[in-house]
Amino acid sequence: MAPPTFRADQVGSLLRPASLLAARKTQEIYKDTLSPELAAATKEAIAYAVKKQLDLSIRPITSGEYERTIFYSGFFETLEGITMTKGLPLPEGFRTNLPTSVVFKRMGMTTREANVATAKIRRTAPAYLAAWEMLKAVTPKEKWAECKMALPSITFEHIQLAHGTAWAPGVYANDREYFADLAAAYRAELKDLYDAGLRHVQIDDPNLCFFFVDKFLEGCRQDGLDPEELFDLYVWAHNEILRDCPADMRIGMHSCRGNMPIFHDLVSGSYERIAEKMFGKLNYDQFYLEYEDQEREGSFAPLRFLPKGKSVVLGVVSTKTGELEDIDMLEARVREAAEVIAAGQGRTAAEVLEDTLGVSPQCGFASISINHGEGVTEEKMWDKLVLLRDLARRLWKDAA
């Protein structure tokens, strides 16, 4: 039974420094191919972030996703057969009652881009290998095993797009064929990253939380879909990614409700509706879950479904606000979660605390280059990560 990879973890992006934001002003949102000038600015920013993480004993070591414009960019766009389709109308081009569409409409947008399979999907070149090499280049070799990278969820485009439009007519016979080709691309990507020395990967799937939003479930039914069957399809697709994964490559799944204030009222609710399938059917051995706001996310009760042998990183620190949490309150919450899991597994809370739990922010600090939570500055971001480090040291002897 393996504890979380890191007792105090990070789940994604870091705020971009001003110098990098200035260099990125003309960068297209989905285009992560960097000009020589932007590549130099990116490498410099990543080197600074790595030094901060090393100096502050913050793990895992990440690039802060400084090489990306948004957390999910850079994978689908590199695949043969995938076409970036621009100008899809909102909300008609997207799934009925999709929470994301509501947000973009609030922002005044009338169209969006999306990646559609216009031919059979094939991976002909690595997507994130260059980014991993950039991180390696500014990280001491003996610390490479403490690095982590994130990949977008295999379901990201499919759950966003209007029912039946993730692939063009005639390209695939059904969704399983579409996901089978996508999963093969993911497996090849993971193998290349593993062969290059990466050992820790996070799959970002914030959209699984839509499955406990009543309006989204109603939208599925309006589209003639059974939400349970759609969720089961996504579980299968995720598990196809993990097939043949090396035993010493730790891959966890992150599920949250975002870090943008504009999303706050759209994806509220407990994990209760999806917890039994999420924990029991998905083959990830580690889950990163948002738990920084009990009013919004509910109690820890869904954690009673966590099977023995799987771990949970509790996102108890918020990236939505710059206010620093109280460490005693955070410790009490972690211990409360341990009690819930222990009751479900028939073990003691001390055992669960020792081999099952870790802590993290509930989301990344800047899912898109220019985004950040209310009052969150670079200084406050580092303060929050240090707080998590100190919390982990208080709770676990093996914390860095």
Average pLDDT over residues 162-176: 97
Q: Is residue 3 part of a domain?
A: no
pLDDT (0 to 100) of residue 244:
92
pLDDT digits (tens, 9 = 90+) for 372-387: 788 899 999 999 999 9
- Please answer whether residues 388 and 360 qualify as being in contact, where contact means their C-beta atoms are separated by less than 8 angstroms: yes
pLDDT (0 to 100) of residue 35:
85
Q: What is the CATH number of the domain that holds 154?
A: 3.20.20.210
pLDDT (0 to 100) of residue 33:
76
The sign one gets for the Cα dihedral 17, 23, 29, 32 is: negative
Longest CA–CA span in the chain (Å) reads 58
At residue 13's C-alpha, the angle toward residues 11 and 16, to 5°, is 155
Token pair for residue 96? 């009925």
Average pLDDT over residues 131-159: 98
Average pLDDT over residues 218-222: 97
pLDDT exceeds cutoff 70 at 371: no
pLDDT exceeds cutoff 90 at 298: no
The H or E element containing residue 359 is strand 357-361
Q: Which residue has the higher pLDDT, 188 or 104?
A: 188
What is the DSSP annotation of 300-321? SGGGGGPPTT-EEEEEEE-SSB
pLDDT exceeds cutoff 90 at 131: yes
pLDDT (0 to 100) of residue 311:
97
Q: Which amino acid is at 132?
A: W
pLDDT (0 to 100) of residue 31:
67
Q: Is residue 5 part of a domain?
A: no
Token pair for residue 91? 């909300």
Average pLDDT over residues 294-323: 91
Angstrom distance (rounded) from CA 74 to CA 65: 11
> Chain-centre distance of CA 169, in angstroms?
30
Average pLDDT, the chain: 93
Q: Is residue 272 part of a domain?
A: yes
> Chain-centre distance of CA 127, in angstroms?
17
Q: Is residue 353 part of a domain?
A: yes
- Please answer whether residues 268 and 303 qualify as being in contact, where contact means their C-beta atoms are separated by less than 8 angstroms: no
Q: Is residue 303 part of a domain?
A: yes
Q: Which amino acid is at 278?
A: M
Q: Is residue 228 part of a domain?
A: yes
Q: Is residue 12 part of a domain?
A: no
Q: Which amino acid is at 48?
A: Y
Residue with tokens 């939570």: 373
Angstrom distance (rounded) from CA 30 to CA 20: 17
243-252, 288-297, 352-361: least confident range: 288-297
Q: Is residue 351 part of a domain?
A: yes
178-192, 197-211, 357-371: least confident range: 357-371
The verdict on whether omega for the bond into residue 60 sits within 30 degrees of 0, i.e. cis, is yes
Total number of domains constituting the chain: 1
The boundaries of the domain holding residue 182 are 18-395
pLDDT exceeds cutoff 60 at 1: no
